[in-house]
Amino acid sequence: MRRVVVLALLALALPMAAWADGITIINEFGSISISSGGIGSSTISSTQSELIQYGSNMAAKGQSLGTVNYTTGVLLSGSVATGGTFSSTGSSFDVIGRGKWADHITGMSCGGGCALFTGSFTGPITWTLTGQQGAKVFYTLSGEITGTLWNGRVVTGTTTQEIYSSKGQLAAGIGHINMGTTNLAVPEPGTLGLLGTGLVGIAGMFRRKLIGR
């Protein structure tokens, strides 16, 4: 009976562990450019936003670990000024590291300019007007992303980019990145979820054997 309880608890804990084990990415500064044209044409692209944190790696004050760069698809609804939705088609989300990176599990390593994460948005990208302070206007760009880590592992996650501008700059297609937070789930939750389901099945087999005695 004790074996059944242990296996059942392990099966329930594994899917939760999938969410707990992940990579947090923080980026600051840099700018965005907004192409004109409105619905069906406008896109947003970032320029050299500084990578401040990647997992447990933190940049020293005044320095960065690399860059975060992203591009949306075209505007699907709403407007750049009031908020709307962008397509993920043709989008990208890339994290480029400086220096040498090593994976203590696989032993893999890569040098400067390493693509720590290469991916894109999935589903609609939300552009939300969050407030105004004096001449400044504030927005968030958020959405789900998927891609590949430099060690070959496929991951999924979400990102929220905090951006500010002024009405004049916005009309000229200029914005500034305040901070971005990206959370990647490692490994994918579905993988451990299936493993947990399998362990529940094994626990059931043990239970049937015990009952059959």
Q: What is the pLDDT along the chain (213 residues), one digit of tens a residue?
A: 554 443 344 344 434 433 446 999 999 999 999 999 999 999 999 988 999 999 989 999 989 999 999 999 999 999 999 999 999 999 999 999 987 776 655 556 677 678 999 999 999 999 999 999 999 999 999 999 999 998 889 999 999 999 999 989 999 999 999 999 999 998 644 444 444 444 444 444 444 544 555
DSSP state of 105: T
Dihedral class, residue 175 (left if φ above 0, else alpha if ψ from -120 to 50, else beta) = beta
Residue 22 Cα distances to 34, 145, 158, 186, angstroms: 31, 14, 12, 5
The answer to whether the beta carbons of residues 201 and 7 sit under 8 Å apart is: no
φ, ψ of residue 87 in degrees (nearest 5): -80, 150
Give the three-state DSSP class for 191. Answer: helix
pTM for this prediction: 0.76
DSSP state of 38: -
One-letter amino acid for residue 201 of the chain: G
